[in-house]
Amino acid sequence: MLAAAVAWGPGKPLSVEEVEVAPPGRLEVRVKVFVTSICHTDLSAWKGENEQQSKFPRILGHEAAGVVESVGDGVEDLAPGDHVVPIFTGECGACAYCASAKTNLCKTYRINPLKSTMVSDGGTRFSVVDGSGVRRPVYHFLNTSTFAEYTVLDAACTVKINSNASLEKMSLLSCCISTGVGAAWNTANVSKGSTVAVFGLGSVGLAVAEGARIRGASRIIGIDIYPEKYTKGKEMGITDFINSMTCGKPVHEVIREMTDGGVDYSFECTGINDVLREAFVSTHDGWGLTVVLGIHATPKMMPLHPMELFDGRRITGCVFGDFKGKSELPELVTSA
């Protein structure tokens, strides 16, 4: 029996339980988790803010790093002892999506908030004895479930990394760093000398700032309600800071005044609809691009009128920084 933090229901305190972790099935691996971190998406799912992620009991967590303990039938690219990070949107390498340079999604292993079981047989690999003494399944989360000593992953959602890399640092590549840096590099393709606004200076927002800094953005404006985040933000490339609670007018008006009409790129990293609206109208008409990274609670509609797109502003979503996890993440590990 192994320990895991089990979420029994929306908003209920997680409890450390003894769980049974089954051996990996076909095209699966069992991983010993050495490091796991917490992302706001875990918090959102735990609270039940997104009805698509309401399956309980569940083991949350999706940012982690560990070592392969065993592999199931058919796994050829991973072996016991390999250092790995889990990814919530996988790559089979064989479908039309994986073959396309236009997307990092996969037909079979793409991120799916509704998915709470394994691909191979629709079952779970976790079980626990509940308060009435009955053994019951514990559901998976985002292909990962890392709040556990051991987890079972689809091999397509498991990336082998350099064994010399720090597992503590690499855990952040399984979500926030890859998502934020990739949003700047791949999704927006931030250009040298451009202007950028980052709404929300959590880990993803700071990673966006770092990605924009590396790309040579001339001005990177951070927006948050906590001024202390500017201290860390400056280390990651933030050049200006706006406290949206105290700036005295709508943030987009402040940004337009600062940038002669709006920024070239804005990144929404909060999951708040009103903030998404401000991010969109903070961009320059004619060419401004807004990238949505925040996980929004349901049900929500896009806070803009279709006619506003005729001003030349664009908006797009971003999953895992548009990195193809299995084939492209190892190179990012090396460069990191």
**Cα 171 to the center of its chain, rounded Å:** 12
Dig out the tokens for 2 from the structure: 């192994």
The predicted pLDDT at position 41 comes to 87
Q: How far apart are CA 223 and CA 227, in angstroms?
A: 9
Residue 336 has pLDDT above 70, yes or no: no
**Residue-level pLDDT at 51:** 59
pLDDT for the residue 292:
98
Q: What is the pTM of this model?
A: 0.94
pLDDT exceeding 70 applies to what percent of the chain?
98
How high is the pLDDT of residue 148?
98
Structural domains in the chain, CATH included, are: 2-174 (3.90.180.10), 180-319 (3.40.50.720)
pLDDT at 159 over 80: yes
Evaluate the CA torsion angle 73, 77, 83, 85 in order and state its sign: negative
Q: What is the mean pLDDT of the chain?
A: 94
Determine the Cα–Cα distance for residues 200 and 334; give it in Å rounded to an integer: 28
Categorize the per-residue pLDDT at 115 as very low, low, confident or very high, splitting at 50, 70 and 90.
confident
Q: Is the pLDDT of residue 52 over 90?
A: no
